């Protein structure tokens, strides 16, 4: 036990001496100061032993360490004041991947254009119009419209959005509102977004509306002017002319009938538009219905010298629909074939399908002069006529095929027209 205590004492002594040596080596400036003080005291005649000199060194080191520690604490308090946060500038990276994802979600054609008028990106809608454009291609190499290119240059030069209207004639008439605007974002170079908004349907509706008002006014003005003129004549110069009375009254009756048909067709169109979202809940067998329509039109066909030939299946062909409206569709189509295909002397009416998995299909074929191809897309528009004089001479209002289209739309059916000039026309209804 005594031996162990001695070793501990020696270890403590060595540890204390080592600590003292470390502290003194770390305080070389203090040692030099203490030596200087001791040397001056020796010169003054104050002789100190080694133990007293060591104690003096420790006292001086402790005092200076306390002073240094106090100074460090003051500095720490000063540094503890929170400084304003340093905001790192946003990286100016050209994130084309994110922009490409946004363009891909647009249903309108869109191009990303650089300040050098080169195409950086395009979405799928733009590919459908301009084809695939390699990145970096010149915009003028793909878009040949001078108005659009001038607008792009003006926008890039001024730094402001620009907009123009552009029309394509082929393969069909299409109208675009083209707009270019600067794209704000963290990009390394200025980019511009060029978009194409299709307003063809809106322009077409506006044109149809204006045409409808003009045509309706014209269709009513003509018979009204005739009636007014004949009435004034009967009240004036022909007041006592019995023969003039008979002739003028016949013409007046014809003009009044024409206005009545026009008003009835307009009311029918208005009624169909109000019911366009109501799906018919009845079931109609087309086989006996077409037989009834043929019988009702036989007198008209006989007067025109036209034969109506029916080709109907032996089994029932039932479709969901409104019987009266379907009668109006078939009467209109067969009557038009008899009137305008009178030269062919024959009209073929065919009904197919109606079995399980095979939809019903009705077609009427005439062998008349046919319809020029430029008129086919518009023949179902209101008041549109291929031949105005021929239509009026045959007592047409110009609304028959428009009514047919609205009825078929309500019945979830569609009308297909195929015509060849000089050979005839085929109207097909696909249910």
Q: Taking the domain 208-274, which CATH number applies?
A: 1.10.287.130
Q: Token digits for 153?
A: 């240059």
Secondary-structure breakdown of the chain: helix, strand, coil percentages, each rounded to the nearest 5 = 55, 15, 30
Measured CA to CA, the distance from residue 233 to residue 251 in angstroms comes to 13
Give, in degrees to the nearest 5, the angle at Cα 89 between 84 and 95.
150
Separation CA 48–CA 33 (nearest Å): 16
Where are the chain's structural domains? 2-63, 107-198, 208-274, 283-430
For domain 107-198, the CATH class is alpha beta
The two three-digit tokens of residue 60, written as one number: 């001086």
d(CA 313, CA 213): 44
Question: Exposed, middle or buried: residue 205 (CB in 10 Å: 0-12, 13-18, 19+)?
Answer: exposed
Quote the CA–CA distance of 304 and 339 in Å, as a whole number.
7
What is the sign, positive or negative, of the torsion defined by CA atoms of 115, 117, 118, 124?
A: positive
Per-residue pLDDT of the chain (431 residues; tens, 9 = 90+): 343 444 334 444 444 444 445 454 455 555 666 566 666 666 555 555 655 666 566 666 666 666 666 655 555 454 544 444 434 333 344 567 778 888 888 888 999 898 888 988 888 888 888 888 888 888 888 888 889 999 999 999 998 999 999 988 766 678 899 999 998 765 567 889 999 998 888 887 787 777 777 777 777 887 888 888 888 888 888 888 888 888 888 888 888 888 888 888 888 887 777 776 777 878 999 999 999 999 999 988 888 999 999 999 988 888 998 898 899 999 999 999 998 888 889 999 999 988 888 889 999 999 988 888 888 888 888 777 777 666 666 666 778 888 898 899 888 899 999 998 888 999 999 99
Q: What b/e sequence results for 102-141 when a residue is b if at least 16 CB atoms lie within 10 Å of its CB, and e otherwise? A: ebeeeeebbbbbbeeebbbbbbebbeeebeebeeeeebee
Q: What is the pLDDT of residue 252?
A: 87
| pLDDT given at position 46 | 56
Residue 50 tokens read as 């080694």
Q: Which of 322, 333, 320 is nearest to 293 (CA)?
A: 333
Q: Residue 354 corresponds to which tokens in the numbers above?
A: 């109606």
User: Are 152 and 194 a contacting pair, CB within 8 Å?
Assistant: yes
Helix (H) or strand (E) holding 428: strand 424-430
Measured between alpha carbons, how far is 427 from 334 in angstroms, rounded to an integer? Answer: 9
Q: What confidence score (pLDDT) does residue 364 get? A: 94
- pTM score above 0.95: no
Contact 227, 256 (CB under 8 A): yes
Q: What angle do CA 129, 132, 135 make, to 5 degrees?
A: 125
Residue 278 is predicted with a pLDDT of: 74
Q: Which CATH class is domain 283-430?
A: alpha beta
Looking at residue 273, what is its pLDDT?
74
Q: In this predicted structure, what is the pLDDT of residue 151?
A: 93
């Amino acid at each position: 036990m005594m031996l162990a205590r001695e070793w501990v004492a020696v270890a403590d002594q060595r540890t204390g001496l080592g600590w003292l040596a470390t502290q003194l080596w770390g305080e070389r400036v203090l040692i030099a100061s203490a030596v200087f003080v001791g040397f001056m005291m020796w010169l003054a005649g104050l002789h100190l032993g080694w133990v007293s000199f060591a104690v003096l060194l420790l006292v001086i080191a402790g005092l200076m360490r306390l002073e240094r520690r106090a100074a460090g604490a003051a500095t720490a308090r000063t540094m503890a004041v929170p400084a304003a946060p340093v905001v790192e500038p946003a990286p100016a990276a050209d994130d084309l991947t994110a922009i490409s994802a946004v363009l891909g979600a647009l249903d309108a054609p869109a191009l990303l254009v650089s300040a050098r008028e080169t195409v950086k990106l395009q979405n799928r809608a733009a590919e459908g119009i301009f084809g695939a454009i390699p990145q970096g291609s010149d915009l003028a190499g793909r878009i040949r419209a001078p108005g659009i290119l001038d607008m792009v240059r003006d926008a890039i030069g001024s730094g402001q959005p620009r907009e123009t209207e552009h029309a394509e004639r082929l393969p069909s008439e299409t109208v675009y509102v083209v707009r270019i605007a600067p794209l704000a974002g963290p990009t390394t170079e200025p980019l511009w977004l060029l978009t194409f908004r299709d307003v063809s349907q809106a322009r077409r509706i506006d044109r149809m509306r204006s045409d409808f008002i003009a045509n309706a006014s014209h269709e009513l003005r003509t018979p009204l002017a005739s009636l007014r003129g004949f009435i004034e004549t009967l009240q004036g110069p022909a007041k006592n002319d019995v023969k003039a009375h008979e002739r003028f009254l016949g013409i007046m009756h014809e003009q009044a009938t024409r206005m009545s048909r026009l008003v009835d067709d307009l009311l029918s169109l208005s009624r169909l538009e109000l019911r366009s979202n109501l799906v018919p809940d009845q079931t109609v067998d087309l086989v006996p219905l077409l037989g009834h329509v043929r019988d009702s039109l036989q007198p008209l066909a006989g007067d025109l010298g036209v034969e109506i030939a029916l080709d109907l299946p032996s089994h029932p062909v039932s479709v969901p629909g409104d019987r009266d409206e379907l009668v109006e569709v078939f009467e209109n189509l067969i009557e038009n074939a008899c009137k305008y295909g009178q030269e062919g002397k024959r009209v073929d009416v065919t009904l197919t399908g109606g079995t399980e998995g095979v939809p019903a299909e009705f077609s009427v074929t005439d062998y008349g002069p046919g319809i020029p191809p430029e008129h086919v897309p518009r023949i179902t528009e209101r008041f549109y006529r291929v031949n105005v004089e021929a239509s009026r001479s045959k007592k047409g209002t110009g609304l028959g095929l428009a009514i047919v289209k609205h009825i078929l739309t309500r019945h979830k059916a569609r009308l297909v027209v195929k015509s060849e000039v000089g050979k005839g026309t085929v109207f097909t209804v696909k249910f």
